[in-house]
Amino acid sequence: MDTALKTLVWDQFGAAIDMLDDAIRLCPDDLWTTRVWTDSDDARYGQFWFVAYHTVFWLDLYLAGYSDGFKPPAPFVRGKLPDTPYTREQVRAYLQASRQKCQSTIESMTDERASQRCTFAWIEASYLEMQIYSMRHVQEHAAQLNLILGHHAVEGLDWVTKARNPTS
């Protein structure tokens, strides 16, 4: 796969992940369980912490490229809510691990891997398209969380133009 294309994809995917991380990092404790939206199945599905976790979970799953048998790392559990909300530190650690996985996956992507088919109940696409789909999903939820923080006058949020270099 073309190096320039991989760089472009990472720069934008990493920027979306960095914006999600900013929202999680800047969320005050009193907003961690605030409602982002109403969910008829369980109110917790609409809370800030769960939207953040949900986004990271699907980022990780789409990087895997399959759903059957996929399990997130401990302490996260697939298919049920925890007894207490995951902590900011837990969600950020999962996000950082997924960010590194995303970067290395994109950097090492071959034409063959990019074109492999991924089939989920709701979509079938090439592996590369699934990553673009995932990027859009990350950015969607990062924007929703940023909107909540903005409505509560949380400072420090900003647009990220390209993936940050964590060593700088």
What is the enclosing helix (H) or strand (E) of 123? strand 123-126
41 exposure class (CB count in 10 Å sphere: 0-12, 13-18, 19+): exposed
**Helices of type H across 42-87:** 48-64
What average pLDDT score do residues 140-164 get?
A: 97
- Domains of the chain, by residue range, sit at 3-151
Check pLDDT > 60 for residue 168. no
pLDDT tens for residues 44-85?
A: 999 999 999 999 999 999 999 999 999 999 999 999 999 999
Check pLDDT > 90 for residue 19. yes
Check pLDDT > 80 for residue 102. yes
Reference 62, options 7, 120, 112, 23; nearest CA is 120
pLDDT at 167: 63
- Residue % of the chain over a pLDDT of 90: 97
Superfamily of domain 3-151: dinb family like domain (1.20.120.450)
Going by pLDDT thresholds of 50, 70 and 90, the confidence category of residue 109 is: very high
C-alpha Rg value of the chain to the nearest Å:
16
Reference 72, options 39, 104, 95, 105; nearest CA is 95
CA 24 vs. chain centroid, Å, equals 11
What average pLDDT score do residues 92-100 get?
A: 98
Going by pLDDT thresholds of 50, 70 and 90, the confidence category of residue 151 is: very high
Is pTM beyond 0.85? Reply is yes
pLDDT at 166: 76
